[in-house]
Amino acid sequence: MAVTAHGYVSAIQSVIDRIALTQVDTVSQAADHIAAALRAGGLLQAFGTGHSEAVAVDFAGRAGGLVPTNKILLRDLVVYGGADPKILEDEKLERDPSIAVRLYEIAAPRPEDVFVMASQSGINGGIVEMALLIKQRGHKLIAITSVEHTARVSPRHPSGQRLADIADVVLDNGAPYGDALLSLESGGAVCPVSSVTNALLAQLVVAEVVRRIEAAGEVAPVYLSANVPGGDAHNHTLESRYAGRVRRTA
């Protein structure tokens, strides 16, 4: 594809179409786990690092999204855990397995909570350690990753495992090795796709979760925009059902 805006649209459309065809079953499985957790009083805990933290933000605390959700981010170590802010200056922090236990403790999940973790490569130590911990504690785990990319790189965790090896459900974001779609004549590539397809997968899952809750005769706890009349009151009423469990920050 040409390195142009139109070239990117054409390239990404083919990835989106492939996801729509190939991820139907896995989206359904993910929605089953999440809907069951929410109907049992659990929360959806969403975790991602680097650019993949956008998935956590997409799941938690946004208009049109589910209320019983939390995002887990590396900066929680500082904001909620009291760590020295300088820890966030380490651009390789996600490779450190030791961060997983502290992040899990800060999230303080209940046994009925379900987790979604996003990682393009799925190989870094903190990601894999968190996944192992989640499964050891008995939670269902849904991974969003690039199946192509993760298969071509070596795990950085001592276990030799990848996120995709541990999760109950693996959603393939369709991103190529290296993430970028448009090849450059000088070498390399430009314009990544995972941010777009991760968000797509998140909303496909949300749609199916809401469908399941409503099919059970219940009203899905969904946010209104805070920037429409009545939005704040609606949202605060729903959030009060999960007082002390749902975290929202600026």
Q: CA angle, 123 as apex, 180 and 89 as ends, to 5°?
A: 80
Q: What is the pLDDT of residue 249?
A: 85
Q: In whole angstroms, what is the distance from residue 57 CA to residue 195 CA?
A: 12
Q: What is the pLDDT of residue 153?
A: 97
> What share of the chain in percent tops pLDDT 70?
100
Q: Is the dihedral of CA 200, 12, 164, 121 positive or negative?
A: negative
Q: What is the pLDDT of residue 64?
A: 97
**Mean pLDDT, rounded, for 224-241:** 96
Q: Identify the band that residue 72 occupies on the pLDDT scale cut at 50, 70 and 90.
A: very high
**Looking at the predicted structure, is the pLDDT value of residue 11 above 90?**
yes
Q: Identify the band that residue 87 occupies on the pLDDT scale cut at 50, 70 and 90.
A: very high
Q: Which residues contact 68 (CB under 8 A, 6 or more apart)?
A: 38, 42, 43, 44, 221, 241, 242, 245, 246
71: nearest Cα among 83, 58, 84, 80:
58
Q: In whole angstroms, what is the distance from residue 150 CA to residue 210 CA?
A: 30
**Mean pLDDT score across all residues of the chain:** 97
- Residue 192 token pair: 């990544």
Q: What is the pLDDT of residue 250?
A: 79
Under a CB-based contact definition with an 8 Å cutoff, are residues 149 and 121 in contact? yes
**Looking at the predicted structure, is the pLDDT value of residue 181 above 90?**
yes
**Mean pLDDT, rounded, for 21-46:** 98
Q: What is the pTM of this model?
A: 0.96
Task: Please write the tens of the pLDDT for every residue from 142-162.
Answer: 999 999 999 999 999 999 999
- Residue 54 token pair: 């956008």
